[in-house]
Amino acid sequence: MKYSPVAVVFLFASTLHAQINVIRSDKQIDPIKTVRITPVPFQLNSFRLCMDAKPVNNPLPARDFSAVKPPPRINSDGSVINVGVTRQPLAAETNKMWNPGQIIPVYISPSFTETVRDKIKRYAHEWELIANIRFNFSANYYDALIRIGLGKDNRSWSWIGKDVLFNPLRLNTMQFGTFDEKTMEIDYRGTILHEFGHALGFIHEHMSPAAGIPWDKEKVYQTMAADPYKWSRAEVDVNFFAKYSSTSTNYSAYDRYSIMHYDIPANLTTNGFSVSGNNSFSGTDRQYAALLYPFPAKPGFAAGLLRTQDDCDLVSFTVEYEAVASDKIEFVLELGKNDANRAVTWWKQITIPLTNNRKFELWAQNHSLIQSENRTIASALIAVNELDTGNGLAFWKAKAFGIHTLLPYRWNILSALPGGCRVKLVWKNDSCI
């Protein structure tokens, strides 16, 4: 099904849940239900209905953004500035969301067939493509935080985000009860994406402060009062018509195409408005998932000129990110040419500090009469854990009478280099002549 682009919204559960208390009937209502209802009066088609149970009100730990902290910025003169983490607006209200980059252990009941288990894993992993989060599926029930059970009541639901941390009885925190041999692939995908959205902290789109759904309230009351639910008017008010507070949610425009929206039959609105078949991410489902679960910053390039404080030395540098293996940093030293196209000659060296007072010497030269001793470029791959980040790169060059001389300048760059970098130094000028 094709939809025209629309402004979309992603909401999340946090303190706003405390503002909406689900009114329970004599029958226990599970949290965040998603139900396929058998046709009832008004010739309704099957549609998904979700219910919010009273949330966990225990204090939750603050979100940790250290895994996505941008690396320090390297200025064109080689100096380094630490860059703070940019957090999304209303960050205090995202406390039910996990830390960006967190690995969440997940258990799936063996009551599911292997086919269904594979589908749950496959579609849950689709969230990892748009949000910086990981689901680790294992057979360890007790260590899992998300525990998925097989429901026999035709209901699917999930707890909201980090509410699962307060589960001393180790209850199931997610249920799929609508899958059978007749379930279509698109319904598998839509239901699984929806429930794992709840597990990441997202709530139902129809409760957005921006939603203006023209409910035919009397028809909704009559429909939900019938079998099999027999809801009271108060229960309908809470689960259909209540909205989350605009001061306690992070939202943009209402998005009828969000994966977190459930179906609205046209019979339940005054003007025929309906929502049906949201079985994939909408445009800013993707946008908001990346905003609320940001991926690590990936600076692509840094460049500039270093001055060694000797003569008129100029050494150009470039830093490429994610250029080599993530546990190593590559250093390259090259003899270049100045702006007048004069080639730099004689011996040059950088010394790279290593742990335990060791050092690695990377040199180049082009003046030796012995050709095998000449090389105008040299490189080395060094393991990140071998580098002494508390010390800087040292610069050497051959001066009068060819004496190898340590220059006064130190480039304190190592602490700003994440693994995977390639640092290239080109000695462009070594004389004021």
Q: What fold is seen in the domain 301-429?
A: Protocatechuate 3,4-Dioxygenase, subunit A (2.60.130)
Distances (CA, A) of 28 to 31, 33, 54, 163, 262: 10, 12, 12, 18, 21
Instruction: Determine the 3-state secondary structure of 101 from DSSP.
Output: coil
Per-residue confidence (pLDDT) for residue 363, from 0 to 100: 95
Pairing of strands 103-108, 146-150: parallel
Token pair listed for 188 = 């598998």
Instruction: Please enumerate in sequence order all residues whose Cβ is within 8 A of that of 237, keeping only pairs 6 or more positions apart, or say none.
Output: none
DSSP letter for each residue of 157-169: EE--GGGGGS-TT
Strands 146-150 and 134-138: unpaired
Tens-digit pLDDT profile for residues 100-119: 999 999 999 999 999 999 99
How much is the pLDDT for 208?
A: 60
The domain segmentation of the chain, as residue ranges, is: 15-292, 301-429
Q: Compute the residue count for the chain.
A: 433
Q: What is the pLDDT of residue 111?
A: 94
pLDDT of 135? 98
Q: What is the pLDDT of residue 205?
A: 63
pLDDT confidence of residue 27: 32
Please give the CATH architecture assigned to the domain spanning 15-292. Answer: 3-Layer(aba) Sandwich (3.40)
Written as one string, the DSSP assignment of 121-168 is: HHHHTTHHHHSS-EEEEES-TTT-SEEEEE-SSSEEEE--GGGGGS-T
Q: Which helix (H) or strand (E) holds 117?
A: helix 114-124
**What is the rounded CA–CA span in Å between residue 124 and residue 193?**
6
Strand ranges inside 264-326, DSSP E: 301-306, 314-320
Looking at 237-343, list the stretches that DSSP marks H as alpha helix, in order from N- to C-terminal side: 283-292
Low pLDDT (below 50) residues in the chain: 1-46, 53, 85-93, 246-250
